[in-house]
C-alpha cells in the first residue's frame, strides 16, 4: 500500500462500526493516527468494539455524545449508512471537519488501479463479472472485489500491489463521502429511484451517483447505460471518455445487443441466450462488464468463459436448487420494486413470488404490470405486506396469502406451486423490519428451503 503521512499523530473519529468501520479504524491506527471509535451499540454486546479496544484503539459506545465534537478531530470517517442529519455528522460539517467514508480512505492508500461500479441495480453482479473477467488475463495482476459487495475496500487496498486492480462496488451512501477517489474506469449500470428517504429527493440521489466520475480526467473512461435519455444526458457531465453499453442497440460505440447477439463495437462476442444467469437486466450487466473487460485487454474467449459459467451472485437472482420440478431462487438483494420487476422479467415460467419488508412509505402500483405478466401466486410478509398485496390485487392475482416472514412463506409457496414453477424470494423492500440485513434474510430463506427438502437434517 502507499505510504501516507497525513494521518500520523492526527486525531480521527470513526463513526459507526460494522465491517467498514472496523477496517477503517485498524488502518488509521496502522497509519499512526490517534483513533477514537464511536458506535451506538453498547459495549457488552459489541464484539467489534471489544476487539478494537484490545488492540489499543479508544472506544466509546452506547450512543453518539455531542461532546465528541470538542475533541479537535481532523477527520471523521463515518459508516456509509449514517445520514448527514446525524448530530455528530452535521456538527462536524459545521466545524469544517472533513467527513469521509471508508472507500475514500482506501483510495488514498491504493497502489493499484481503481475501477468503480455504481447504479441502482446490477452493481454487485457487474462488479463480480468484471473481476472474474479481469482475472482471465494471464499477463496481468490480480483483480479484487471490494466495497459495497461486502468486502471492505480498506482491507483490499492494503494488499493490492501496483499491478493489481480493485473493482469496487460503490453505493450512493459511500459516494457522498468521497473527496479524491479517482477510478480509472467508472461504471453506472442504471439510475432509478430508491433511498429517497435517505437522500431527500431523486435529484440528490442522482447527484450522489454522479460523484463516481467527478475526479475523472480525459485519460479515464466513463461507462454508462445508453438506454435512457436521462442517462445519456448525465454522461455529458463527465470529463472522461464516455463508452456506452446498450441492450436496445442505441449505440454501437461500446457494447450492445443486436438481434440476440452481443457485440463490442464491431466484434461479435456471443449470443445473449448463452449467458448463464437469466433476465434482460443480466444482459445489461454483461454488456457493462464487457466494456470494462475490453478496455482492460481481456480476450473475447475469456469474456465468454465467464458469461457462460457464472451462475450468479449470492442473494441476487441466485439459483438455490430444483426440488420435485420447482426451481427455487434467492433474490433477497432486491430491496426495491425495480429490482423485483427485473427478476420477474427474467422468467418465462409461472412464478410464485415471496415479497415484502420494510415500509419506507412508498406504494407498489408500478409493479402491477410485471406481477400480472409473471406471477401466479403472491405470498406477502413484513411491514409492507398489505401494500404488496394491494399491488397484486391490482394485477388481478387471485392467489394471495399473508404470512409472518420469508421463512414461513417457503412451505406455503411449495403447497401453492406446481412442477415447472419458479419459487423466488424477491422482496422489493429492505429487510430491516425483520432481519439485520438482506444477507441474513436470504440465508434464512435458503435454510427454510433446506428444511423443506430434507437437506437441513442431513447436515
For residues 291 and 163, membership in a common domain is answered with: yes
Q: Tell me the binding residues for ATP.
A: 119-125
In a domain, 2, yes or no: no
- Residue 147 is part of a domain; what is its CATH number? 3.40.1190.10
- Residue 88 is part of a domain; what is its CATH number? 3.40.50.720
Q: Domain ends where: 260, 285, 309?
A: 309
Q: Would the pTM count as exceeding 0.85?
A: no
For residues 57 and 172, membership in a common domain is answered with: no
In a domain, 3, yes or no: no
In a domain, 5, yes or no: no
Torsion of CA 214, 17, 440, 115, to 10 degrees: 30
In a domain, 391, yes or no: yes
pLDDT of amino acid 396 = 97
pLDDT of amino acid 456 = 53
For residues 92 and 108, membership in a common domain is answered with: no
Q: Tell me the binding residues.
A: 119-125
Q: Domain ends where: 53, 77, 100?
A: 100
For residues 108 and 91, membership in a common domain is answered with: no
For residues 208 and 259, membership in a common domain is answered with: yes
**Euclidean distance between CA atoms 263 and 134, whole angstroms:** 18
In the chain, which residues have pLDDT < 70? 195, 456-459
For residues 82 and 115, membership in a common domain is answered with: no
Instruction: Give the Å distances, CA to CA, from 210 to 166, 188, 204, 207.
Output: 20, 8, 10, 5
Helices of type H across 139-251: 153-159, 172-175, 196-199, 202-210, 229-234
Helix (H) or strand (E) holding 38: strand 34-39
Question: For residue 353, what are the β-bridge partners?
Answer: 378, 424
Residue that has been written with the C-alpha cell 401494500 in this structure: 387
User: What residues have CB less than 8 Å from 314, skipping those under 6 apart?
Assistant: 330, 439, 442
User: What residues have CB less than 8 Å from 214, skipping those under 6 apart?
Assistant: none
User: pLDDT tens digits, residue range 163-219?
Assistant: 999 999 999 999 999 999 999 999 999 998 776 777 789 899 999 999 999 999 999
Q: Domain ends where: 309, 344, 367?
A: 309
For residues 88 and 108, membership in a common domain is answered with: no
- Residue 355 is part of a domain; what is its CATH number? 3.90.190.20
Structural domain harbouring 435: 318-458
**Euclidean distance between CA atoms 238 and 159, whole angstroms:** 30
The C-alpha cell at 221 is 473512461
For residues 32 and 175, membership in a common domain is answered with: no
pLDDT of amino acid 323 = 92
For residues 276 and 375, membership in a common domain is answered with: no
**Euclidean distance between CA atoms 354 and 385, whole angstroms:** 10
For residues 200 and 335, membership in a common domain is answered with: no
Q: DSSP per residue over 272-313, as a string?
A: GGG-SS-SHHHHHHHHHHHHHHHHTT--HHHHHHHHHH----
For residues 261 and 380, membership in a common domain is answered with: no
**Residue in 181, 22, 193 with CA at minimum distance from that of residue 117:** 181
In a domain, 298, yes or no: yes
Determine contact, residues 116/168, Cβ cutoff 8 Å.
yes
Domain tally for the chain?
A: 3
Instruction: Give the Å distances, CA to CA, from 291 to 142, 230, 301, 315.
Output: 19, 20, 14, 25
For residues 276 and 388, membership in a common domain is answered with: no
In a domain, 1, yes or no: no
In a domain, 221, yes or no: yes
Amino acid at each position: 500500500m502507499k505510504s501516507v503521512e497525513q494521518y500520523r499523530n492526527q486525531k480521527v473519529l470513526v463513526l459507526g462500526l460494522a465491517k467498514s468501520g472496523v477496517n477503517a479504524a485498524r488502518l488509521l491506527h496502522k497509519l499512526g493516527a490517534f483513533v477514537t471509535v464511536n458506535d451506538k451499540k453498547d459495549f457488552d454486546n459489541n464484539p467489534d468494539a471489544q476487539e478494537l479496544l484490545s488492540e489499543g484503539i479508544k472506544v466509546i459506545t452506547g450512543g453518539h455524545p455531542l461532546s465528541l465534537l470538542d475533541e479537535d478531530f481532523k477527520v471523521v470517517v463515518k459508516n456509509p449508512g449514517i445520514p448527514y442529519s446525524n448530530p455528530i455528522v452535521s456538527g462536524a460539517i459545521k466545524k469544517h471537519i472533513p467527513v469521509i467514508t471508508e472507500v475514500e480512505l482506501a483510495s488514498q492508500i491504493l497502489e493499484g488501479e481503481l475501477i468503480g461500479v455504481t447504479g441502482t441495480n446490477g452493481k454487485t453482479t457487474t462488479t463480480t463479472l468484471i473481476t472474474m473477467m479481469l482475472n482471465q488475463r494471464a499477463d496481468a495482476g490480480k483483480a479484487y472485489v471490494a466495497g459495497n459487495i461486502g468486502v471492505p475496500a480498506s482491507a483490499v487496498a492494503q494488499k493490492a500491489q501496483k499491478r493489481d486492480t480493485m473493482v469496487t462496488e460503490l453505493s450512493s451512501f459511500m459516494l457522498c463521502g468521497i473527496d479524491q477517489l479517482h477510478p480509472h474506469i467508472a461504471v453506472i449500470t442504471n439510475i432509478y429511484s430508491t433511498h429517497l428517504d435517505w437522500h431527500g429527493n431523486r435529484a440528490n440521489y442522482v447527484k450522489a451517483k454522479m460523484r463516481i466520475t467527478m475526479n475523472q480526467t480525459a485519460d479515464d473512461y466513463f461507462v454508462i447505460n445508453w438506454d435512457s435519455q436521462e442517462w445519456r444526458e448525465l454522461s455529458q457531465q463527465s470529463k472522461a471518455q464516455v463508452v456506452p453499453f446498450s441492450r436496445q442497440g442505441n449505440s454501437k460505440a461500446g457494447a450492445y445487443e443486436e438481434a440476440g447477439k452481443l457485440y463490442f463495437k464491431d466484434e461479435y462476442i456471443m449470443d445473449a441466450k448463452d449467458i448463464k444467469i437469466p433476465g434482460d437486466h443480466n444482459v445489461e450487466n454483461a454488456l457493462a462488464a464487457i466494456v470494462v473487460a475490453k478496455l482492460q485487454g481481456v480476450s473475447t474467449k475469456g469474456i465468454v468463459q465467464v458469461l457462460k459459467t457464472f451462475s450468479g451472485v449470492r442473494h441476487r437472482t441466485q439459483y438455490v436448487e430444483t426440488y420435485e420440478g420447482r426451481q427455487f431462487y434467492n433474490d433477497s438483494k432486491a430491496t426495491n420494486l425495480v429490482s423485483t420487476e427485473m427478476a420477474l422479467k427474467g422468467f418465462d415460467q409461472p412464478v410464485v413470488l415471496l415479497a415484502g419488508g420494510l415500509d419506507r412509505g412508498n406504494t407498489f402500483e408500478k409493479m402491477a404490470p410485471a406481477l400480472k405478466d409473471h406471477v401466479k401466486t403472491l405470498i406477502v410478509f413484513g411491514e409492507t405486506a398489505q401494500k404488496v398485496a394491494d399491488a397484486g390485487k391490482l394485477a388481478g392475482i387471485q392467489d394471495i396469502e399473508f404470512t409472518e416472514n420469508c421463512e414461513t412463506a417457503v412451505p406455503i409457496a411449495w403447497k401453492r406451486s406446481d412442477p415447472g414453477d419458479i419459487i423466488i424470494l424477491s422482496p422489493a423492500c429492505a429487510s430491516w423490519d425483520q432481519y439485520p440485513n438482506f444477507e441474513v434474510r436470504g440465508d434464512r430463506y435458503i435454510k427454510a428451503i433446506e428444511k423443506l427438502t430434507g437437506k437441513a437434517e442431513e447436515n
